[in-house]
Amino acid sequence: MTNTSNHSRGPDFMLIGAPKCGTTSIYHYLQQHPQIHMSALKEPHFFLFDGSEKLVFGGSKDAIRRREMIQSWDHYQALFRSIPQGEMCGEASVRYLYSAQACAAIAKRLPDCKLVAVLRHPADRAYSAYQRDRMHNIEPCENFADVLADGARREAEQWHIGAFEQLGYYARYLRPYMKTFGPEQLRVYLFDDLVANPRGLMRDMFEYLGIDPNIELDMSKRFNETGVIANPLMRFLWRGTRSARSLIMPYIPIRLRGSMFNLVAGLPVKKSTKQSFDPAIRAQLTERFREDILRLQDMIDRDLSHWLAND
């Protein structure tokens, strides 16, 4: 009989954000480590709910994702039960970053949990998210500049899907996590690190988690790339606000639900070359982020001057 450890209190670590920053690839790399068990559902997002199952973050445009979240502590704990002795377990809910309530809830439930955040140039992250939502028929606006001009209204209405600029003010959102957990329990990486030296990033992450860092990983496959799903049947089932996904996902068992997300994340996509990021808009948006970027570089002790350069 295999000995199992008791993870009934939840995960040992979690990736808390940010979206479109490579966390899906990191989730799959973490799965390859023999000492790690990742939640079958990559993004349970349980800590976005308070004890009464009331969503503490997200608005009207989050209807699909809300139905896919784990809303009870028992169901959340079930993701981490029966883990073999000696394995760590983790999850990767990339919207925790944006919720101070989630930060407080994690600290209360899992005070020893280690956290990881991966951050990308905020303007590039915003445009990548916009392209993804356009390709999946979620974002109605055809012009990114118009989307940015509509940002204040979307924020007031608590959009998450469609609030592209607001999700890039990382220093603002990291502050409560830094204050609550400190550098011993919160490690921040850059998307730049993942692109330039993915093996080095994963080795450092394994060391931070306290497990063997010298594990060979298969990094030949990229996950969750921005683009249109190449398979027409899967594209029909998965994309859009009224897709089959939105109707059936709440009724699929959690473990199978996670397998479906993993399958779709690894599907080949057709890259779109019709809309490149207008350099002028990128520069304007970067300037809006300037003060937050300067605060962030002090907060994480990383030189981010290359984020402010207009190249």
CATH of the domain at 183: 3.40.50.300
Residue 49: predicted pLDDT: 77
Total domains, the chain: 1
Residue 253: predicted pLDDT: 61
* Residue 66 falls inside a structural domain: yes
- Give the residue from 121, 155, 127, 157 showing the smallest Cα distance to 141: 127
CB atoms within 10 A of CB 79: 23
* Residue 306 falls inside a structural domain: no
* Residue 311 falls inside a structural domain: no
* Residue 122 falls inside a structural domain: yes
CB atoms within 10 A of CB 235: 20
Give residues with Cβ within 8 angstroms of 10, minimum separation 6. Answer: 76, 77, 80, 109, 110, 113
Residue 212: predicted pLDDT: 96
* Residue 230 falls inside a structural domain: yes
- Give the residue from 122, 73, 171 showing the smallest Cα distance to 283: 122
Residue 241: predicted pLDDT: 46
Domain enclosing residue 32, as ranges = 10-301
Residue 281: predicted pLDDT: 96
- The one-character DSSP state at 286 is H
* Residue 137 falls inside a structural domain: yes
* Residue 3 falls inside a structural domain: no
Q: Residue 58 burial by CB count (10 A; 0-12/13-18/19+): exposed, middle or buried?
A: buried
Cis link prior to 145 (omega < 30° from 0)?
no
Run means of pLDDT, 10 residues per run, the chain, 311 residues: 55 95 94 93 85 51 61 89 86 93 93 98 95 81 92 79 87 97 96 96 97 93 58 56 55 58 56 73 96 98 94 63
Residue 13: predicted pLDDT: 97
* Residue 252 falls inside a structural domain: yes
Residue 137: predicted pLDDT: 74
